[in-house]
Amino acid sequence: MIPPEDQHEPSGAVEIDYKFLAENCADILCSVGADHAIRYVSPSALDILNRDPGEMIGRDFDELVFSEDISVLDDIGAVAAENGAAYSHVRVRLLKKDQTPVWTSINARCVRDPVSGEPRVYVLSMRDITGRKVLEEKLSALAMTDALTGLWNRRAFDQALRREWKRAVRDESQLSLLLLDLDHFKLLNDQYGHPLGDECLTTVASAISDTVRASDVVCRWGGDEMAIILPGTDHAGAARTAEKVRAAVEALRFRARKNADEWVSVTASVGVVTAISQPDGSVTTPQNLLLAADKALYKAKHDGQNQVVVAPPTVPVTQAADRKFACEKSKHMQGMGGSGEGPPNDTDGL
């Protein structure tokens, strides 16, 4: 705002005031031509990006953008050109002179040619939000993490399953799911107390995480139940992983009481299912994948526990709820039996 006493000063004084604002603004002010060439950058670029504004003039703005975020800017530019939008907002990572990424919030205005209506220049206001972004990611991780075991929680599992499901359909690959339930865990809690139960859960969680691949997703489903998503894993690979997980849990030992010689062990039952993307589009849904793994887990619990039950590799969407499963038996590994019954409402299966 111009002070009243200066309102009648020549226009040059007003322009100096605007220049003063631009040169002292904490955000980076920038103008970019329709050809993406930078025309002006305010001095704040030196503080935020460690770049000399003079050296940025004439450069392609895309050179300053983190490679994975360039498409975000392109999409906004395309929408502005097509729909005539004047304002837009986006979060992207810009690169410092040493190529360190900086999260920025960019408010952009498209200035158009008054005759042709074509975009002529983009005016950008760019704010450093790296600190805010780090905090958001920490809060998001807390919201997605089980406080006791450090595994992903049920919400994170739901998101991961949807994400990996879409990836499997897009890539025409396979996706496997393991549901695991600790056997007689309630009895362990009742007999030895919740501290030992908590120790058991955290140790089992670590054992599972150490057994599977870094790309696999291990989640605490709830209580003593855990889920493991195996991206790009076929039927046989999922069965092998499930057996490794079962054996790793069985090998664990816990001291029943401090300074006592009594040791306690636990076992786990595991249900396994694999979804295969079919050329004709006949594929299961994530919900049916869960249902099939749930049935396999219930059968493992029902048939003696401490074993792996593997459902058939293909669960078509039209048959997932009623499929009768064939058998694949070994010492600790079985296929689904012919009853086709799922877990009743009062079972401790998933």
Give the residue numbers annotated as catalytic, written as ranges: 224
- The dihedral sign for the CA sequence 192, 198, 202, 205: positive
Compute how many other C-beta atoms are within 10 angstroms of the C-beta atom of residue 342. Answer: 15
CB 141 within 8 A of CB 150: no
What the block records as the tokens of 163 is 């994400």
Who contacts 274 (Cβ-Cβ below 8 Å, separation ≥6)? 174, 175, 176, 177, 233, 234, 235, 238, 311, 313, 314
Q: Distance between CA 180 and CA 172 in Å, rounded? A: 26
Find where tokens 């359909």 sit: 169
Q: Whose CA is closest to 92, among 76, 109, 79, 78?
A: 76
Q: Distance between CA 299 and CA 282 in Å, rounded? A: 26
What the block records as the tokens of 325 is 């499963």
Compute how many other C-beta atoms are within 10 angstroms of the C-beta atom of residue 250. Answer: 15
Instruction: Give the 3-state secondary structure of residue 80.
Output: helix
Q: Distance between CA 133 and CA 104 in Å, rounded? A: 9
Q: Distance between CA 280 and CA 82 in Å, rounded? A: 36
Q: Whose CA is closest to 254, among 204, 218, 205?
A: 204
Q: Distance between CA 270 and CA 273 in Å, rounded? A: 10
CB 323 within 8 A of CB 340: yes
CB 62 within 8 A of CB 73: yes
What the block records as the tokens of 182 is 């600790």
Q: Please compute, for residue 29, the number of CA atoms within 13 A of its CA located in the half-sphere on the CB side.
A: 11
Instruction: Give the 3-state secondary structure of residue 147.
Output: coil
Find where tokens 């919201």 sit: 143
